[in-house]
Homo-oligomer: A and B are copies of this chain.
Amino acid sequence: MRIKVINGNTFELMTQEIDRIAQQVRSPHVDIVTTQPRSGPQSIESYYDEYLAIPGILEEIILSGDDFDAFILACWGDPGIEAARELTRRPVIGVAEASMYVANMLAARWGVVTTQHRTLDMIEKTIHKAGFSHRCVSIRTTGIPVTQTETDRPATVDALEREIRDAMACDRLEAVCLGCAGMAGLDLELEARLGIPVIDAVAAAVKLAEAMVGLKKYTSKALTYQSPDPKPILGYPDHMQP
């Protein structure tokens, strides 16, 4: 079984870290290849960042041909996931939705904690897209940028602990999704400090991707996720023409 994990941004340090976690949690018989797009921003912290990241993410799907059994979009926001599903019959799993399914199986009241304050609206839309607007009881932000989340682990962990503790007290939070692929690997330390399930989105997605491949189910091509119709798309290379 081969799974391709696509980091949503072009920050190599984060790609490596995502790969490290993915390799750690994969089952023995699973090959994982972690990549990052050829184009796009160093981090996704605005809608502008997100929309400029998506073509590169989709290119990673296209370039893979039939080499993989499943794809993981490793950016909490699952950017472009609907289009990714149009491009392949293989299951495409977003790390955001994966972490929410896991949270939903472990706790009655769960939430999400993420990075910059300005992404609050993006996070709400991501939760709505997966269908969980009425289940998620708390959304928190640390105010720490994505790249610093990756490079300054101690400050990040402290800020996350602070926000999660506050949500436990105020919103009666019982489990939390780490809402940024850049937080991959921080779950154990936070669980030790907080005593509630803390869900690493990349790890969750790897296990769900394995499950989906094991199920042998494919993306529906009945309507919404049909392949894009052929048409000229200016300014994109040949391999991205549908």
Is B41's CB under 8 angstroms from A51's CB?
no
A interface residues, how many (CB within 8 angstroms): 93
What does DSSP make chain A's interface, helix, strand, loop or mixed?
Answer: mixed
Q: Are A172 and B120 in contact (CB under 8 A)?
A: yes
Given contacts A39-B236, A134-B134, A215-B207, contact A51 B80 (CB under 8 A): yes
Contact B49 A228 (CB under 8 A): yes
Asked whether A83 and B51 contact (CB < 8 A) given A46-B226, A197-B220, A224-B108, the answer is yes
Q: Does A31 contact B (CB under 8 A)?
A: no
Minimum distance in angstroms from A32 CB to a CB of chain B: 13
Residues of B within 8 A of A199 (CB): 217
Query: Mask for A172-192, Cβ within 8 A of B = 1, else 0?
Result: 111100000000000000000
B contact residues around A91 at 8 Å (CB): 105-106
Q: Which residue of B lies closest to A208 (CB)?
A: B211
Residues in chain B near residue A107, CB distance under 8 A = 219-220, 222, 224-225
Contact of A40 among B97, B128, B174, B233 (CB under 8 A): B233
A120–B104 Cα distance when bound, in Å, is: 16
